[in-house]
């Protein structure tokens, strides 16, 4: 199977986003912590929703463990910088994508996987941008190390979706699940 490249994101992250991110590294780090926690939570929720799907549960177990590790690593950096682990308004992006998940099965599973893959793909791209452009050398190195880890879950999700639905995108076209322009507007890193 030929996996789609990261280019299945319709548009690259804007220069304005990266400039804003670099100007607000503390907020980005806090947002990142929330994103890692949410990513682990999504994996756990799917495990609860589909407990009998062995391959899926195995993949989700690995993802949940890894995302919790990232959560811990980001939180260590928050602590080093004396940034409180406080609340942050959720960007509309995640809710906008979740609203596109169909209610009936198996489409619900397919769409849930694709939304996770999209978020992971955007995260991969933005970690790379931060790794390249972040003026704080230690943080830049951290982002590069996380970027290297963001690919396996993405390909794992799409590979699983391919096996189950005979295409990574099932009955969604690649363009169809890259839902409108919402997928390019997010802040999420994980
Ligand atoms: Fe992560």
Closest to 148 in 3D by CA, of 177, 164, 124:
124
Query: How far from each other are the two terminal CA atoms of the chain, in whole angstroms?
Result: 26
Residue 30 Cα distances to 37, 40, 58, 136, 167, angstroms: 11, 16, 29, 16, 36
Cα of 60 vs centre of ligand 1, distance in Å, is 13
Per-residue pLDDT of 147-171, as tens digits, reads 877 666 677 787 788 777 777 666 6
Residues of the chain with pLDDT under 70: 1-8, 150-153, 168-190
Per-residue pLDDT of 42-60, as tens digits, reads 999 999 999 999 999 999 9
Neighbouring residues of the ion ligand 1, judged by CB less than 5 Å: 36, 67, 70, 190
Contact indicator for 20, 181 with CB cutoff of 8 Å: no
Cα of 66 vs centre of ligand 1, distance in Å, is 7
């Amino acid at each position: 199977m030929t996996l789609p490249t990261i280019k299945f994101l319709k548009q690259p992250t804007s220069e304005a986003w990266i400039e804003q991110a670099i100007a607000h590294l503390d907020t980005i780090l806090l947002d990142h912590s929330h994103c890692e926690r949410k990513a682990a939570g999504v994996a756990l929720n799917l495990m609860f929703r589909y407990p009998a799907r062995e391959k899926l549960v195995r993949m989700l177990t690995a993802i949940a463990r890894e995302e919790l590790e990232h959560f811990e690593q980001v939180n260590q950096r928050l602590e080093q910088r004396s940034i409180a682990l406080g609340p942050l308004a959720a960007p509309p992006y995640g809710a906008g994508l979740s609203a596109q998940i169909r209610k009936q099965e198996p489409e619900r599973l397919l769409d849930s996987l694709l939304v996770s893959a999209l978020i992971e793909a955007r995260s991969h791209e933005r970690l790379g941008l931060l790794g390249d452009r972040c003026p704080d050398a230690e943080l830049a190195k951290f982002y590069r190390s996380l970027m290297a880890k963001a690919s396996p879950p993405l390909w794992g999700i799409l590979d699983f979706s391919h096996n189950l639905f005979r295409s990574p995108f099932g009955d969604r076209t690649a363009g169809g699940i890259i839902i409108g322009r919402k997928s390019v507007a997010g802040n999420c890193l994980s």
